[in-house]
A and B are shown apart, each in its own frame.
Chain A
Amino acid sequence: MDLSPRMFKWLFGRNSEWWPTNMKTGMWAWIGHRLTGIILVVYIFMHLSFITTASLGDGEKNFNALMAVTSQPLLVAMDFLLVVVVIYHAMNGFRVVLFDFCVGIKHQKLIFWIMMAVTAVLTVAGLWAVWHLIFPGGEV
């Protein structure tokens, strides 16, 4: 596929037919908040379903078998993505609550990027903590 600057401009440029060019930072933050929120609501029910294995049949055996599967690197990586989703939702959510208390609403765009910087820092810290589970035995 041709991903030249012309192509990029056609896709995301000012007169793009399908990319919402009239949307600014705050609108994207809002959409991101809803998307991450929906993902997390769906996940609660998955989370409870996983724990339910401890209540079925030989609970201890079932639960340990499931934990052995979920501790595989790929699934830990997916778990970590979920953590990133939580961090974004929490950080942007904190920004929303600030505005509801009439704090900083004039600087909403700046505060969004500050919160995204915090999100990045927490993401790196989280990645550092689980790195050895995603890349076991690897020297980094």
Chain B
Amino acid sequence: MAEQRVATSKVAGTWAWYMQRLSALALIVLLAVHIYLDHFEGVAEEESGDTLIEFGDVSLRFEELIYVVVDYLLLAFVLFHGLNGARTVLLDFDRFLRHRKVLDIGLFILGVATLIWGIVILFPFLQGD
């Protein structure tokens, strides 16, 4: 099937295009905050005294709310940006373009499920000891 190439915004939609840029900028800011907090402010010497990050270190770190908030925000934005980006790549293939509704619903479900997965797996650290 010979197809004319069209702009990404026409295939993937303006909203997807705009949100991809917005989440990109948010991720750059969040990454800077994450690197500052995790690697400059309070390094992993907290509990065990060495550089090896262990369960207790992570748990201790999460006693400060900002770490939890930044991590969950990073997770949400990364998931959106990653899956939305994957969608753009996949829609460049006719095979996926033909089933875009299935693709959209599939990626949305995958995104929400993974977000819940990511939120739940931090609970053991948040309960503390």
Contacts and interface: CB of A to CB of B under 8 A. Distances in A.
Contacts of A97: 21, 24-25
Contacts, number: 66
A90 B79 CA distance: 15
A59 B55 contact: yes
Interface stretch (A1-9, A19-27, A49-57): A49-57
A44 B28 contact: no
Interface string A31-46: 0001001101100110
Contacts of A68: 52
A44 B80 CA distance: 11
Contacts of A100: 21
A48 B21 CA distance: 24
> For the complex, would chain A's binding face be called helix, strand, loop or mixed by DSSP majority?
helix
A102 interface: no
A63 interface: yes
B4 interface: no
Interface string B14-33: 00000001001101100100
B29 to A, nearest CB: 11
A94 interface: yes
Interface in B26-59: 27-28, 31, 39, 51-56, 58
A41 B83 contact: yes
Interface residues of A, number: 27
Contact of A48 (B24, B54, B83, B121): B121
A129 B120 CA distance: 31
A73 interface: no
B24 A93 contact: yes
B82 to A, nearest CB: 4
Nearest to B24: A93
Given A60-B55, A133-B51, A41 B85 contact: yes
B50 to A, nearest CB: 10
Interface string A69-110: 001000000000000001000100110010010000000000
B124 A59 contact: yes
A67 interface: yes
B52 A41 contact: no
A54 B25 CA distance: 31
5 closest A-B pairs by beta carbon, nearest first, are A41-B82, A60-B55, A54-B124, A59-B124, A63-B55
